Structure formats: structure tokens, C-alpha cells
Amino acid sequence: MCGIVGVTGSDPALPFLLDGLSRLEYRGYDSSGVALVDSDRVWVRRRAGKLAELTGAVGDAPRATAGIGHTRWATHGGPTEHNAHPHTDCTGALALVHNGIIENHLELGDELVSAGHELRSETDSEVLAHLIEAGMAGGAGLADATRAALARVEGSFAVAVVHAANPEVIVAGRRSSPLVAGRADGSGFVASDIPALLAATREVYVLDDDQIVEVGPGTLRVTTLDGTEVSPVRRRVEGDVETAEKGGYPDFMLKEIHEQPRAVRETLRGRTKGDRLTLGELELSDQELRDVDKVFIVGCGTSFHAGMVARHAIEHWARLPTEIEVASEFRYRDPVLDAQSLVVGVSQSGESLDTMEACRFARSATNKAKVLVVCNVVDSSMAREADAVLYTRAGPERGVAATKTHVAQIVAMELLALRLAHVRGLLYPEEVARQVEALHSLPTLIDGVLARSEEICDAATSYVDTRDFFFLGRGVGYPVALEGALKLKEISYARAEAYPAGEMKHGPIALIEPGTVVVAVATRGRLHAKIMNNIDEVKARGATVVVVANEGDDAAANHADRVLWVPAVPRGAELFSPLVDVVALQLFAYAIAKARGCDVDQPRNLAKTVTVE
Ligand code: F6R
């Protein structure tokens, strides 16, 4: 989730670019840069680190009226200065910024290098600068060359390009990644998000996929990739910057809940092709993966719950013994680790001290385990120290309660499980391909839950005054129950306990009394009938039962007082059901917390990243 900003017709352009970048920093930052169009060249300055590094390094910038800027959140290539944007072509006359993932960048890069281009970064983005250069060398103008280059891209992009030959023009385009354009008297703008433009204009247009815009001082022309002109859609812009950052949602948490289909899509992007799984940054060879004889998963809170789902997947597909432990306990027992052990550290931030220390302990000279970190922040401390990293690509998460990073973690680890099974020869290619296809259906299924937001929130508000909740699940439904209870506890301060449904009768059922609300994850799967029995057991003791059930499951509805309906995952893909079911419980917790007047983005006593033991 990088941030893009561009301006033309602003004298000077630089202050607008820096201000715009500061408003986009919330999208993530590990490096940043600007390019200014200066007579017959583009002047570029880039810096690793926070935006302040760049701001302190532009004292010698030329006075220019047009330019582009970028704040990066690395996906391909470390967060170094030479990987920072803008990227230039071989001539130094063109500069380009990009957000997204160019899946075919290796093929395009090989072709460009054979044609004599020099690629200077490890990013997927740089190829675009050279592709446009090649088009212009063949006689095309900037806009036509950009259109032709973007038409060759597989993957997602929002790009903005400037060229010394067209000093007043910015050409920008998008597919899947966000991009808006704006206009004011005598100036024009592009940005990945509205907040970057608010100080300058409220005349904002949203581009559709595969459209490009040519922005000049006070002018704006939108075309499709085949050159057909279209009328851009004007977006109504109200409120202040924070309102704009929330993208029309009342809080970051709700926005992030709605970003989950995208988080899943991005985490899958470029990593699957039929039965082939390419987990690029994994950095463990097939042989190393084959040598693994035991897996340990460690994490805290929501990340721990994602790990619990992954354990089911790794055991089921890869047939590897898998243990899971909360990170704060792991190194204080005597886990039996050796060089054949794979320890998976799961952490959104990559900075939680408990998980970091657990990984250090596993990699220590005594234990010698291989450590793979699943995290959302590129180049975080844990990622730097690990043997291998698998990044989730959920984009920065602002709400303290984790939502979109949780589903992205599950997706990343399900891919890992399939990859382990594949290298160990335990799944036929057709089965891998079938599971991969099911994974790709998840964004649509999650959209199906989100479409029911109103109905789920209405149901939840019946329980605003409830004091005690129990959450029950079985199999992969149990971690969903744990996560549902954690979300409710942390944002609404209700008491919520989760149990494996079959365990209730061994003690906790004594707590059930009239008025207790039991939320059961009862979507279809091999334990469906068993959880129905468990529901009857609590109902018989006076509990009010809310079930998460698959659309059309009348039997589940008959056992419950209330149903939170969710779409079913494809048959044979039940291990993915947590990705759909958990969304209903996030919304359930959200609605109760809001009705109780709680601050869902910054719940009391909590910090987004816990760096103490
Ligand atoms: C709950 C939540 C926390 C984190 C936990 C681990 O909503 O956000 O439980 O999951 O503190 O944080 P990371 O994943 O950054 O290691």
C-alpha cells in the first residue's frame, strides 16, 4: 500500500508534494521520494526511512511547477534508497511512481535487459519506466506509450509518470490499486487517496480500472487503455482529512473490515498459478521444506488464532506434526527443537516482543530451528532476523483490533501448508489447483458477508446489555470462536469466553443461566451435527443462542434464537471457512461496541504493537 501524489501548475510544486505525502504516510512508509520536472530533465531525490528523511534532503531542489511523489511500503525489494520511487528510465528524462504488484515483471525485465535497458533496482515497478521509454523511443507520445506499457502488465497498478518532453503533464493510470485525479484553477493533481488533495481542491474524480488520465494545469482527460475517451466520475468530497482517510467509514476498524476481500486478493496475488505456488520471499529451498519434520507456530492474540487455523491446514495437507503455542509461553517451556524443526512466527507488526523472542529462542545456537515469519510490515525486526519471510499484503492496519491482517495471515499460512504438502508429494497437483481455486473464491464470499452487514449489526444490537457471552466452535470453528470472543472483549469490554464446543459439558456449562448469550460457529463441515448437539445442551440450560450458519441451513436456524448468515465455502474447502465466518463475528463485536459508545479504533488499555514482555 504505497502512496502516490502528483501536481502540475503549482509554483512551486515541491511543498504540495511533501504535504500530500505526509497525508498519505498512513498508507505505510519505509522510504519516499519526489521527482520534479526541470527543463530538459527530471530531478529526483529519494530517501529510505520516514518522510522526514526526504524532507531534510530536498534543500537543493529546483523550482518546478510539476512533479510526482511516492511514499513506499515495500513488497518487492527491500526498503532501501535505490528501491525507493520515483524510478527513472535509462535517459533520465522520465520518472515514474507505482503502487501495486507487477506479476510479470521478471519476464518484462528480461525482455528489457535483452533490448539494452539497465534496471537498477530490485523492484517490480522499475520495468514500467523502461517499457514506457521503449515506447517513446519508437515514436509514441507519453500517454500512448504509457497506455501500451500498462496493457502489458499482469497484476495491479496505480502509476504516475512525468517526462521532461511534456513538462506540464502527468500521465497516470490504475488497475485494482486506487487512484484519484483532481483539478483546480490552473492546476491539476493525482493521488492514491483523497486526503492528499484536500488542501488544494474538492473537485476530485475517481478513475476506474484500466483507465488513464492526462492531467495538465487546469485540464484533465480520461481514456481507457485502448485510447477511447470517457467522462470521469466526480466524487463528492466532504469533511476533514481524517474523515477522508477513513474513506467514508465512521472508523478505521469498519473500513478495515471492508478491506478484507482486497487483503485476501493481494495476499494471493502472483503467488498461485494452477497448482504452482510461488512464495517468492520464502527463501527456503524445496529440500529445506522437505527436511522439516515438525512445525511449531507461535504468535500472540489474533495472530495466535490465525496460527491455530494454519495448524489444521498443515496437519491435514502436509501431514506434519504441528504444535501451536502462545509466544509468551513458548520459550519458557522446553520445546523439543532441532535443525529439522520449522518455527512459524506470526505477527502483524513483526515487532511484538513476545513473538520476536520466541523466534530468537528457536533460532538460537542451542535449538537451531528454521524460523519463518509471517508478517504484514516489510522489513520489520522479526522479518530481518528470520530465515524466511512470508508477507501478508493487507496494507497498514490503523484500528488497534486486528481484522484484515488476520484474514491475510490465514491465507498466507494456508498457502504455506499447500506448498509444504506439494514439496512433500502429498497432494496431487489437481488437488492443489482445486484448493487454490477455492482460495480465489474467498474475496467474493467475504463480500457476501459484508453485504449482510446491516442485518448482522441489527442482530448484534439486541445484545448490547448482555453481560456474559460464550463463543463456541469445533475444528477450525474453534479459533474463529476465540477470535470472535477476543474482538468482543477488546472493543466492547463485554465478558466473552471461548471454548471448544465439546468441552462445555466438562465444566463451563455450569456458568450457563437464562440471559447468557452463546454464539456458536456452526457453518457446514464434518463436525456440524456434533455442534448442533452442543448447542442444544446450552439451550436446554437457558442460554440464548446465536449461530453463524451457512445460507440455507434451516437445521442450524431451528436450533438457534438468531442466525448470522454467511455464504458457504466450496465443498471440500472447509479449511477456508474461518476466513468467511470470522467476518460475521467482527461485525457482531463492532456493532455491540458502537452501540455501547466505545472507541473501537483505540480501545482502552490496548496498544497496536506490544513491545514489552
Ligand atoms: C487483537 C490484536 C492483538 C494482536 C497481538 C499480536 O485484535 O490485535 O491481539 O494480535 O498483540 O500482535 P502482532 O500480530 O503485531 O504480533
Q: What is the pLDDT of residues 246-263, one digit of tens each?
A: 888 999 999 999 999 999
The predicted model scores a pTM of 0.78
- Residue 239, pLDDT score: 67
Nearest CA to ligand 1 atom 10: 302
- β strands within 467-561, DSSP E: 468-473, 495-500, 517-521, 544-550
Distance 205 CA to ligand 1 centre (A): 36
- The answer to whether the CB of 459 falls within 8 A of the CB of 562 is yes
- The answer to whether the CB of 347 falls within 8 A of the CB of 386 is no
- Residue 563, pLDDT score: 97
Distance 355 CA to ligand 1 centre (A): 10
Beta carbons within 10 angstroms of residue 464's beta carbon: 15
- Residue 264, pLDDT score: 97
Determine if ligand 1 sits within 6 Å of the CB of residue 401: yes
Tell me how far apart the alpha carbons of residues 522 and 525 are, in angstroms, rounded to a whole number: 8
Tell me how far apart the alpha carbons of residues 18 and 20 are, in angstroms, rounded to a whole number: 5
Tell me how far apart the alpha carbons of residues 274 and 437 are, in angstroms, rounded to a whole number: 8
Domain 256-442 has CATH 3.30.300.250: no
Determine if ligand 1 sits within 6 Å of the CB of residue 261: no
The contacts of residue 116 (CB under 8 Å, 6+ apart) are none
- Residue 76, pLDDT score: 72
Determine if ligand 1 sits within 6 Å of the CB of residue 610: yes
- Residue 28, pLDDT score: 62
Q: What is the CATH number of domain 452-595?
A: 3.40.50.10490
- For the chain, the distance separating the N- and C-terminal CA atoms, rounded to the nearest angstrom, is 30
Nearest CA to ligand 1 atom 7: 401
| 296: DSSP letter | E
- β strands within 118-247, DSSP E: 155-163, 170-175, 180-184, 187-191, 204-206, 211-216, 219-224, 229-230, 233-235
Closest-lying ligand 1 atom to the alpha carbon of residue 409: 14
Q: Where in the chain is the domain with CATH 3.60.20.10?
A: 3-245
Tell me how far apart the alpha carbons of residues 157 and 104 are, in angstroms, rounded to a whole number: 12
Closest among 58, 118, 126, 111 to 90, alpha carbons compared: 118
- Residues 50, 294, 539, 608: which is the catalytic one? 608
Determine if ligand 1 sits within 6 Å of the CB of residue 490: yes
Helices (H), 259-343: 260-268, 286-291, 301-313, 327-330
* 585-603 tens-digit pLDDT: 999 999 999 999 999 998 8
Closest-lying ligand 1 atom to the alpha carbon of residue 608: 8
Closest-lying ligand 1 atom to the alpha carbon of residue 403: 7
Determine if ligand 1 sits within 6 Å of the CB of residue 352: yes
* Helix H or strand E encompassing 5: strand 3-8
Closest-lying ligand 1 atom to the alpha carbon of residue 301: 9
Closest among 23, 29, 100 to 71, alpha carbons compared: 29
Describe the strand order of the beta sheet including 3-8 as a list of residue ranges.
Answer: 41-48, 31-38, 66-72, 3-8, 187-191, 180-184, 204-206, 233-235
Task: Name the residue of 610, 611, 613 to mutate for ligand 1: max ligand atoms within 8 A of Cβ.
Answer: 610
Nearest CA to ligand 1 atom 6: 300
Task: Name the residue of 256, 328, 348 to mutate for ligand 1: max ligand atoms within 8 A of Cβ.
Answer: 348
User: Which residue positions in the chain have pLDDT lower than 50?
Assistant: none
Closest among 296, 307, 283 to 387, alpha carbons compared: 283
Distance 347 CA to ligand 1 centre (A): 7
Tallying the residues shown for the chain, one arrives at: 613
Q: Reply yes or no on whether 608 is catalytic.
A: yes
Closest-lying ligand 1 atom to the alpha carbon of residue 354: 16
Determine if ligand 1 sits within 6 Å of the CB of residue 441: no
- The answer to whether the CB of 351 falls within 8 A of the CB of 611 is yes
Work out whether strand 204-206 and strand 180-184 pair parallel, antiparallel, or are unpaired: antiparallel
Determine if ligand 1 sits within 6 Å of the CB of residue 482: no
Distance 301 CA to ligand 1 centre (A): 5
274 exposure class (CB count in 10 Å sphere: 0-12, 13-18, 19+)? exposed
Work out whether strand 155-163 and strand 219-224 pair parallel, antiparallel, or are unpaired: unpaired
Q: State residue 329 phi and psi, 5-degree precision.
A: -100, -30
- Residue 235, pLDDT score: 78
- CA 611 vs CA 35, 37, 322, 345, 347: distances in Å: 37, 43, 27, 15, 12
- Residues 2, 300, 359, 375: which is the catalytic one? 2
- Residue 381, pLDDT score: 82
Closest among 552, 601, 587 to 459, alpha carbons compared: 587
| CATH architecture type of domain 3-245 | 4-Layer Sandwich (3.60)
CA Rg, the chain, in Å? 25
Place of cell 452442543: 534
Q: Which cell goes with 416?
A: 504455506
Q: Where in the chain is the domain with CATH 3.40.50.10490?
A: 256-442, 452-595
Determine if ligand 1 sits within 6 Å of the CB of residue 121: no
Determine if ligand 1 sits within 6 Å of the CB of residue 435: no
Closest among 549, 301, 314 to 419, alpha carbons compared: 314
Distance 348 CA to ligand 1 centre (A): 7
